[in-house]
Amino acid sequence: MQRIIESAADWRGPDMAQSSDWIYELSKADVAEIETALKSAKAMGLSFDTLTRENFVLPNFSRVMAYALDMLENGPGIYHLRGFPAQRYDKDDLRLIYWGLGLYLGTAVSQSKMGDLLGDVRDFGVDIASPEGRGYKSRQQLSYHCDSCDVVGLMVLRTAKEGGLSIIASSLAVRNEIARTRPDLLDVLYQPYPWSWNTQEPPGEKPWYMQPLFSQVGDKFSCRYIRMQVLNSQRFEDAPRLTDQQREAMELIDKLASSDEFRFFLEFKPGDVQFINNHVALHSRTEFHDYPEEDRKRHLLRMWLSVPNSRELAPGMGIIYRDRRAGALRGGFPSRTGQHLYHTVHAPATD
């Protein structure tokens, strides 16, 4: 195991907050091209099931998406589109636009056992500490975590009355700091932890499984960390008990990621589209409070994407990702029938 992993994904929060290299401001020409693609798709009567890159044509903006794909895997692991005029469109149009953009990055995978490929991030009153708790259904503050896919994307339709700030930290920077200061705990993080499926287990499987929080193949690092799912494993008597060192290592991840040295805040605006590589970046969100009017409540769209330029993953990551090969179609949860849901097959990374 390398002591320090050198990578553009090893960054500190204040530096990213001062940089704009990972933010792309859409031009009028970009917006017009996306609008033309939408009109054409609607004229042909296309839906999520029938929309493809070939019939959601972005001759110039596709180059921006190809650059985003490279930045996500070989750069800082985050990329942000800003300036799309969301207020011009209804929700159905925004869903189709977002889906069309996602086709230029990869393949949508299921976000739950319900088979949802395009999720609604809203306050449904769910308690994230409950056995079935999922953060995208709650208004509570979220701890630092990764989603169960290569890349997570969010499109902002409406923001909250108060709160709901996006918070991002480099998990690779956290990992390298632990390597410098607590190498004993670094070894622990590469060993299997017990996890709860949080009711998303495949048919016939136990409600818990084993997986490390950190892993790597060569110099390619991958973090998968969802604190509550690890803690929820302790509800099951037959799951291994967390050791003091395992708990201390998780506390250290949280302490570093939540420090001003490692994190930065991002205030969402309607029309923003955020992409994060889950292998190298942790994300969180502050608690939010909504407007009383239903049509003003905070609402984001979410996609989990398997991307064609993804890294090879270590054997311990095979439970969630199943196919660990670089560029494989992977991630997400099986449906209630046990079938693993993907929307399409991988398209080329670039035009």
As a three-state string, the secondary structure of the chain is CCCCCCCCCCCCHHHHHHCCCCEEECCHHHHHHHHHHHHHHHHCCCCCCCCCCCCCCCCCHHHHHHHHHHHHHHCCCEEEEECCCHHHCCHHHHHHHHHHHHCCCCEEECCCCCCCCCEEECCCCCCCCCCCCCHHHCCCCEEEECCCCCEEEEEEEECCCEECCEEEEEHHHHHHHHHHHCHHHHHHHCCEEEEECCCCCCCCCCCEEEEECEEEECCEEEECCEHHHHHHHHHCCCCCCCCHHHHHHHHHHHHHHCCCCCEEEECCCCCCEEEEECCCEEEEECCEECCCCHHHCCEEEEEEEECCCCCCCCHHHHHHHCCCCCCCCCCCCECCCCCECECCCCCCCCC
Residues 6+ apart with CB under 8 A from 24: 64, 68, 79, 80, 81, 82
The better pLDDT of the pair 44, 133 is held by 44
Contact 265/284 with Cβ under 8 angstroms? no
Contact 87/93 with Cβ under 8 angstroms? no
The mean per-residue pLDDT over the stretch 2-22 comes to 95
Specify the pTM.
0.91
Rounded CA-CA distance 97/242 in Å is 44
Return the axis-axis angle of helices 61-74 and 28-43, rounded to nearest 10°.
Answer: 110
- Structural domains in the chain, CATH included, are 13-321 (3.60.130.10)
Q: Give me the residue label for tokens 């949508």.
A: 108
**Tokens coding 55:** 């019939």
Mean pLDDT rounded to a whole number for the chain? 89
The better pLDDT of the pair 73, 131 is held by 73
pLDDT of residue 160: 59
Q: pLDDT band at residue 209, thresholds of 50, 70 and 90?
A: very high
Please state, for a pLDDT cut of 70, what percent of the chain lies above it.
87
For the segment 108-165, what is each residue's pLDDT rounded down to a tens digit?
999 988 888 998 876 444 545 555 545 555 555 577 999 999 999 999 998 755 556 8
pLDDT of residue 255: 97
For the segment 281-324, what is each residue's pLDDT rounded down to a tens digit?
999 987 755 657 667 677 899 999 999 999 999 999 999 998 99
The better pLDDT of the pair 286, 70 is held by 70
Range in 52-61, 122-131, 262-271 with the lowest mean pLDDT = 122-131
pLDDT of residue 165: 83
Range in 64-73, 120-129, 185-194, 338-347 with the lowest mean pLDDT = 120-129
pLDDT of residue 289: 55
